Amino acid sequence: MIRVLFVCHGNICRSVAAEMVLRQMIDEARPGTLPEISVESMAATREEIGNDIYPPMKRALQARGYVCHRHAAYQTTRADYDRFDYIIGMDSENMYDMRRIYGGDPQGKLSLLRAWAGQPGREIDDPWYTRNFEGVLTQIEEGCRGLLEALKKQ
């Protein structure tokens, strides 16, 4: 089984949206075309622990036909580094926080989501500040499509 973890600042917008998007892409894939994949999302900080998906992000997901599973934000820990095969952040601040939490990246598991869409170094915009939830969702979909294509080859 391949285990994927998405991480953002609070786990109420970008990382949880990426989790919902990738889960649905996996569910909709043709049977037998993918390895078994587990997907989760977590926060780099403690600010939003226990909170559900931020309502504007939830509305953007639902408007595009995504199922929003029950969610409660929680923070990643050092132990998660060993549990997951791919740990994917949304921006450079998340990457900094993850390296701090995990004690570095000795196995090369960390990446930015947009790198999977052929856009290395590019960040997923933070809709908390931009208020552009639909645009952020498009960025997330592009990254998840690229990630899924890479996972198909495993």
8 catalytic residue (yes or no): yes
27 catalytic residue (yes or no): no
Q: Token pair of 138, please?
A: 């498009």
Catalytic residue among 14, 23, 91, 97: 14
Catalytic residue among 91, 97, 125, 126: 126
68 catalytic residue (yes or no): no
Of 21, 30, 7, 60, give the one whose Cα is nearest residue 147.
21
**DSSP string of the chain?**
-EEEEEEESSSSSHHHHHHHHHHHHHHHSPTTSS--EEEEEEESSSTTTT----HHHHHHHHHTT---------B--TTHHHH-SEEEESSHHHHHHHHHHHTS-TT--EEEGGGGGT-TTPPPP-HHHH--HHHHHHHHHHHHHHHHHHHHT-
- Alpha-carbon span 87 to 35, nearest angstrom: 17
Catalytic residue among 8, 13, 80, 91: 8
Q: Where in the sequence numbering do the catalytic residues fall? A: 8, 14, 126
